Amino acid sequence: SQQGEEDPQALSIQEGENATMNCSYKTSINNLQWYRQNSGRGLVHLILIRSNEREKHSGRLRVTLDTSKKSSSLLITASRAADTASYFCATDDRGQGGSEKLVFGKGTKLTVNP
Amino acid sequence: EPEVTQTPSHQVTQMGQEVILRCVPISNHLYFYWYRQILGQKVEFLVSFYNNEISEKSEIFDDQFSVERPDGSNFTLKIRSTKLEDSAMYFCASSVVRVVETQYFGPGTRLLVL
């Protein structure tokens, strides 16, 4: 099964606008994490939301999780040019009973224009 | 803030050659992982390692791959006989506990097999 499919694939906005990215997944999860990747660089952990949480905030980031719809969204408020990056959601796979791997989506490429 | 480090940042090798990618996980972490990202594709799980043994591996992690924790700080990924399709960004990650908590990623090693 495919986990962590983000949409849109690409998003271009102006500085100061909000950016919303969505992620859908297929199996039961313990948690869902969002990562950022600047072009050709490493993965930076942004936020983790557990399956019993519905919303979480961290600075300009707001993450929601709807386990009934198996979906999550990442909202970046008041975006800056420095937010330009690819954003990935990643899930564990509780359905695989103790699997340790993170399963990543293809990511949303966000461009924030100054 | 502690971080995962990886060396080298870039590696170019000839097909059939052996390569060793090195990682220094965060010092108090107990679980270690390797992932790879082929250009333009998803980040894929390769292997997890705990208590000096592999705890989980993916289909990608065949007999050409091996991992080792040769001392108290380093964690290595060896590819015995590289193939063109091994060209990718390889990420090391570590976590305090299992995947239900955050995995912290290194900056990656970009491997190019010619």
Q: Output the pLDDT for position B17.
A: 97
Gap from B17 CA to chain A (nearest CA, Å):
24
Q: Output the pLDDT for position A98.
A: 64
CA atoms within 13 A on the CB side of B107: 8
Please give the residue that has the higher pLDDT: either A4 or B77: B77
Question: Quick check: A48 and B110 CB within 8 A?
Answer: no
DSSP 3-state of A83:
helix
Confidence band for B93, pLDDT divided at 50, 70 and 90: very high
Residue A49 has pLDDT above 90, yes or no: yes
Q: B22 Cβ partners below 8 Å, 6+ apart?
A: B6, B7, B8, B74, B75, B76
Q: Output the pLDDT for position A2.
A: 39
Question: Quick check: B56 and A106 CB within 8 A?
Answer: no
Residues B2-21, mean pLDDT to the nearest whole number:
95
The total of other beta-carbon atoms located within 10 Å of residue A40's CB is 10
Contact A112, A84 (CB under 8 A): yes
**Residues within 8 A of B (CB atoms), A 59-88 only:** 88
Question: Quick check: A104 and B33 CB within 8 A?
Answer: no
Residue B96 has pLDDT above 70, yes or no: yes
Confidence band for B1, pLDDT divided at 50, 70 and 90: confident
Residue B42 has pLDDT above 60, yes or no: yes
Q: Output the pLDDT for position B100.
A: 62
Q: Which amino acid is at B84?
A: L
Please give the residue that has the higher pLDDT: either A5 or A79: A79
Q: Output the pLDDT for position B33.
A: 95
Q: pLDDT for A62-79, tens place per residue?
A: 999 999 999 999 999 999
Residue A99 has pLDDT above 80, yes or no: no
Q: What CA–CA distance (Å, rounded) separates A51 from A58?
A: 17
